[in-house]
Structure 1
Amino acid sequence: MHLVMGSPNRYMQEKNILAEAGQHIAPLGKKALLVGDETTLEVVREKMNKSLKESEIEFREEIFGGEVTKKEAHRIAALLEKDNFDLIIGIGGGKAIDTAKAAAAYSDRKLITIPTIASNCAAWTPLSVFYDQQGTFEEYIIFQYSPVLVLVDTEIIADSPLNYFKAGIADTVVKFYEARASAANKEKNAPTRAALKVAEECKDVLFEFGVQAAADLENKKATKAVEKTVDSIIALGGMVGGIGGDNCRIAGAHAVHNGLTVLPETHDLLHGEKVAFGNLVQLELEKNEAEFDELLSLLNKLDQPVTLAQLGLDRVTDSDLARVAAKSCSSEESIHNLPFKITEAAVLEAIKNVDSKAKEYLSQLG
């Protein structure tokens, strides 16, 4: 297919925009189900709920189950249908928003997303990443429709947990490396070329502003560096796949992330943290030493895991790593988007090499 444009109908990013959320939401429907966890619903409640009431939007809050499972998405979809909601508003991080996206698709309801953290581009994209109840990756599903509205309040983001923001930078910088690999042996039509330029801009923005943005966010400041980084994580990050389609998909980094989920020790790690390590594994597979060293430095400055020990796998066995490699290389995995043949043995060796090189790098820093 030449071009599939997956993007929200409207994307709005501004300080304090949730205080006027009602006027942006009201034209889309008058009865909304707000889905998030207890923390994220509390974060937006003071700003947003007053605005919803002023715009005469009837709404109810629903706590989602904490994991993106099809069972949970169908449960929420049933609520939307039973009580005749016009809209579902996914509030929070990737898991809450992915659950809301799936529930909207299953119930054929309009979807609005409100990210309270900048940890990934979930608020932009028309897909959900599903896991089982134990947190092991199952599959991605791309839905027919994108969000009708995305509201990004940079004051809310600036007050979010720093570790999610840093992991969001790690998850977004990978767009460049994976899109480039995925597109390597494919026709470079105009959308593909545009997507690759967007992916490169993602990387450049994050290398230029990411570390400063993390420092500013630690001080709860919605600075220009934070705004540029949030733009890159949510909007530019989402555009890469939206414009590039199947030519600019994920590749080795996310496959290794999925492989790591077979080990329970990694389940408490953030998505971007596991992707960070997977990105290094991809560059090792590509034998790209210069970019490996450059990325290793950035990830370390952002406190992202670059060794197995930092992933909580200090006691990992070769058998455990073989399971990670096997999952990473399963037939449906994105690692096969790399422009060369991949084997489990090569992935296993790359994982070990990354660990060794990162440990040596850290030892030199003292």
Structure 2
Amino acid sequence: MNTEFFRKGPFRLFQEGAFPSRLHEPRPAVVLGRWLGAALVVCFVTGLISHALQEWGGRLPSRPVDGYRVTQGLHVISGLAMIPLLGAKLWTVYPRLFEWPPIRSVLHALERLGIALLVAAMLLELFTGLLNTVQWYPWPFPFRETHYWLAWTAVGGLLLHLGAKAPTIAEHWRRGGPEVPGRRGFLAAVTASVGLVTVTTAGQTVPWLRHFDLFGARRPDLGPQGLPVNRTAEQAGTVEIPQDWRLTVNGTNRVRLTLAQLEAMPQHTARLPIACVEGWSFSAEWTGVRLRDLLDLAGVPEDATVKITSLERRGYFRTSEMASSYARDPLTLLALRVNGEALAPDHGYPARIIAPNRPGVLQTKWVNRLEAL
């Protein structure tokens, strides 16, 4: 590598041979960039799906049943895989940070701008995303909105970077030239590290990898009634349910039903997953009343969006909205039981929503009101 730049400007201490490794060359950087770019695209697209499902009140199709489970699982898996990939990629190119002069042309300025946007956005994106998987938020800004816009910033930086480095990428895209000692070993080590991270964390959403789930944020098969919870009844202030609890359904008619009356209605069972934004998911058998039967009882129009309200005293998701595509799906239930048992308080006793292809935060627990919007 040309080290002439390291002998000028404020970086005079970097003399010839300051970065002796021949792995600081374009070919490993291009190979790693290819893998990193693919992971970023998967993470970005699945993140957009997650954002849409949460922000648009379920106005997307309710099928496939496991849709959100797959897309959010891929989102977290690809995000975790990017951590070793990004570290290796930065190691291959970090000597370029010490070039002098720092800006040599318009194209070089665009390249540096793209790199700055891409690296800063991805580092912050991966850092906050990793802490989100363990539900730790030590920052003052809202996670979801920040995570969303950082993703767009990273993609913008990637496009600028690709445009500026297109000739170099094209030149080194295919294998060629003399074999550099250690290159294959380095790339194999990176591949192994990505595989290790994936295998030891993906079990929180991929059932056949569950025995290898050493570092996942959740063991999905552990928790009350064999299911984990993110928000307990104590945290939500719903440990004590009022003795006069009634489910209120508001449509053209106003219907109020006791738990005994709900249990006397036709019961249906569906096997559906709880899939959470942190990347874990687990399926269970839920039994209860079809939501569409309750809406028909109150004369709710078939095309109406339904607002669901919880007994929870506070919290961003104490209410949720459900479009008719979900509310009228025969698998969408006001669940009263899970795996043959009455709901535990932490799982939403006396009643909760369970629907296909829906984020866990929108599967509202401790439901006490349904109303047409």
Mark yes or no: TM-score above 0.5. Answer: no
TM-score, structure 2 normalization: 0.25
Which of 1 and 2 has greater Rg?
2
